[in-house]
Amino acid sequence: MKYILYYMRFQESCNRESMKKSVTTIQKSVNNLEYIPRVFRNPFNVERIGYIQDKTELIDRYFILPSVLFIFDGHGFLEENGSRMELCAPFLMWNWPGERKKYWPSPVWNELYIGFREGAEEDLRNFFAPEFFRRNIRIIPRPAECMRYLTELQKTMNSPALPGAADRIDQLATLLLLEAVYPQQEEHLDRNEKAILNITEYMQTHFRQDIDLNQLAEEHGWSYSTFQRQWHRKYSCSPLQYLRRLRNSEALYLLRESTLTIGDIAKELGFRNQFYFAKFFRDMNGMPPSEFRECRRTAVQ
């Protein structure tokens, strides 16, 4: 028993040291722009920004600044308020002051972190439409244009103290967010991209219904294998995973914010009955919907 306790303490010490090294590595990847003077007044100046290549570290913390993460490739998990959610790029994640989140890549992802000045939350919420903040996790439907701004940000971040660099970072961060809300115009897309856009928008507005993906592919002149190939040019997850995440995101929202019964939520999301919904929710989040709702209520109290 003595040796077991010693080993456990040793393991705990190693884990603490590993976490310290991970935090130090991340901190070195983040630029502090707080005291760099600006020429232009921006209601939500960028205070911290960093691009972390091949990130593997687990993050478990309370957030101080309003911030957003952009993940354009990779896969991972989020644990919040007692539930676990699978994350699949491309997506962005909002973090608000006072929130505690635990998330990690599986096994790696590339992450852009943007932390805005203290007190910028109200300005952000006034600038963007309320729908943009309805969910803290937002799928980026067409990330190609966002990548262009990311490339520009990376170049500017290399020398943030140069005259005008901080102003440029502020503007590029705003453009990146706008592109995530209002992606590239349809006239700039080729035929296959337009088809994927149409399918994505259909899924986003009809995910509460029973969608036949094979039929959806046929309606756009594709076999299912061709549909999947075209889909994976834009997304790292499968069409079915995308659909399941849309349903799961709405389920989490309704359980948190509404007074609907679990049976009514199951009907709202197009499940045949409450049993199928509970099985789906447990598969996605690791717990039944009733337990998630109870954990949420306990956390709020």
Summarize pLDDT for 95-141 with one digit per residue, the tens: 999 998 999 998 899 999 999 988 889 888 877 777 778 778 888 87
Mean pLDDT of 179-186: 63
Summarize pLDDT for 154-166 with one digit per residue, the tens: 999 988 888 889 9
With residue 125 as reference, give the H or E element that holds it: helix 121-127
Q: Measured between alpha carbons, how far is 48 from 33 in angstroms, rounded to an integer?
A: 6
Confidence (pLDDT) at 122: 86
Evaluate if residue 263 carries a pLDDT over 80: yes
CB 109 within 8 A of CB 82: no
Q: What is the pTM of this model?
A: 0.59
DSSP annotation of 117 = P
pLDDT band at 25 (very low <50, low <70, confident <90, very high): very low
Residues making up the chain, counted from first to last: 301
Question: Which amino acid, one-letter code, is at 243?
Answer: L
Using alpha carbons, list the distances in angstroms from residue 27 to 22, 80, 104: 9, 23, 16
